[in-house]
Structure 1
Amino acid sequence: MKVEIWSDFMCPFCYIGKRRFELALQKFAGKDQVEVIYRSFELDPEAKRDVDYDVHDMLAGKYGMTRERAISMNNDITEQAKSVGLRYLFDTMILTNTFDAHRLAHFAAKHGKAAEMVELLLKSYFTDSKHIGDHATLADLAVQIGLDRRETEEMLASGAFTEDVRSDEQEAGELGIRAVPFFLIDRKLAVTGAQPTEVFLDALNQAFASA
């Protein structure tokens, strides 16, 4: 079975959904037969790499709400994250453009380390307050999972894996994906959003039974 996951590294529900899916996978009888493939999706392709405002102000401006309301919403998400063992620190998150982080994920996948890279990028943004649009930071993260620093730096300085990211995004458009996380199981069954673990488990069982 193949499970493709479209997500963005600055999407709070993508990390929560990923963890709920993983919890379901642990309970799935056919887990050893599941291949997980991570696909790229940018919530804001036009986002700048460096900004002088925080996530609360970004949400307030995007949705026309007060900063206090945005903080309250993010506090609610923090509690949801906590329920699956994740620690979100919205006050110190560094907003950026995630395109190069997506290129790095594809680079890691080429070296058989996609899962490690995706997890570390999400943790770095939501928990460690790292600037995942910064090339030096991305190179540091690559080294943490065993990738070569010089090769990583050369990749980031080039346009390598741009087409891989764009291909994932184009396919998302063709599949009608407008929000993430989006889970596609064997190209037959889709789960949208950070659904409860039981929903993911039911979907896996259903896809397995019809395989």
Structure 2
Amino acid sequence: MGKRRLEDALKQIDHPIEVTYRCYELDPTMGKDVKENMYESLANKYGMSIAQAKANIQNVVNMAKEVGLDYQMDTLILTNTFDAHRLTMYAKTKGLMKEMTERILQAYFTESKHIGDHETLTELAVEIGLDQEEVKSMLASDEMADAVRNDQQTARQYGISSVPFFLINKKYALTGAQPTETFVQALQKVIAEDKLVVLNNQDGLNCDDDGCEIPKK
């Protein structure tokens, strides 16, 4: 949802902006095959009732609808996402990280696919144009594991403990799925600060490839 709102904000900014996705696991200890559903997991983690968990999740579902996302939380499959992150980092080497990230998110939140399963991940990778055998080989190995862990280490250095988290120019941060207008204002502020500010007047000696122009007195 935060990703979609950022994308909507970028459409309103007339300035080249590069977006880089980073890896972060909310619960690295989670297994691949989880018996709990989303509501049970949330209730157990925060000591709330199933009814309270469902109400909280429904709020998220409603907000997602506002930006055109169809979250199917009743059938969402909880799993360890480390291999999914490895796949996105592999896709990055092929220039397809954005496409892979979007496909995995859709598969997880909307299509209730098991994104911890290698066969599922391979199918998703092929859909966006990656080679089936190469992806299978990568997932069967520990390839890209260090790249994922490096991103996670960087997140710890920045003190990141939740998602979504947006870091702009390695200086400004936005946490949570902020409204689109908040992203627009933040980006405009950073762009304005990055613009060159000329502090002197035009009375100095100016030189270019054609020589120097002596100011008139």
TM-score clears 0.5: yes
Q: Which runs of 5+ in 2 are unaligned?
A: 195-217
> 1:35 is matched with which residue: 12, 18, 23?
18
> 1:71 is matched with which residue: 54, 59, 73?
54
Secondary structure of the residue that 2:150 maps to in structure 1? helix
Cα distance in 2 for partners of 1:185, 1:70 equals 32
Alignment correspondent of 2:9: 24
User: How is 1:183-198 mapped onto 2 (pairs within 5 angstroms)?
Assistant: 183-198=166-181
1:126 aligns with 2:109: yes
- The structural deviation recorded for 1:52 is 1.4
Secondary structure of the residue that 1:90 maps to in structure 2? coil
User: How is 1:104-143 mapped onto 2 (pairs within 5 angstroms)?
Assistant: 104-143=87-126
Cα distance in 2 for partners of 1:82, 1:112 equals 30
Cα distance in 2 for partners of 1:187, 1:53 equals 37
Alignment correspondent of 1:163: 146
- The structural deviation recorded for 1:21 is 0.5
- The structural deviation recorded for 1:34 is 1.1
User: How is 1:7-22 mapped onto 2 (pairs within 5 angstroms)?
Assistant: 16-22=1-7
Q: Which has the larger radius of gyration?
A: 2
Secondary structure of the residue that 2:77 maps to in structure 1? coil
Q: Which has the higher helix share?
A: 1
The one-letter amino acid paired with 1:129 is: S
Alignment correspondent of 1:5: none
Higher relative contact order (CA 8 A, sep 6+): 1
Q: Which runs of 5+ in 1 are unaligned?
A: 1-15
Q: State how many pairs are aligned.
A: 194
Secondary structure of the residue that 2:181 maps to in structure 1? helix
TM-score, scaled to structure 1: 0.91
Q: Which moved more, 1:66-75 or 1:77-86?
A: 66-75
> 1:96 is matched with which residue: 79, 90, 98?
79
- The structural deviation recorded for 1:81 is 0.3
Cα distance in 1 for partners of 2:82, 2:181 equals 32
Alignment correspondent of 2:134: 151
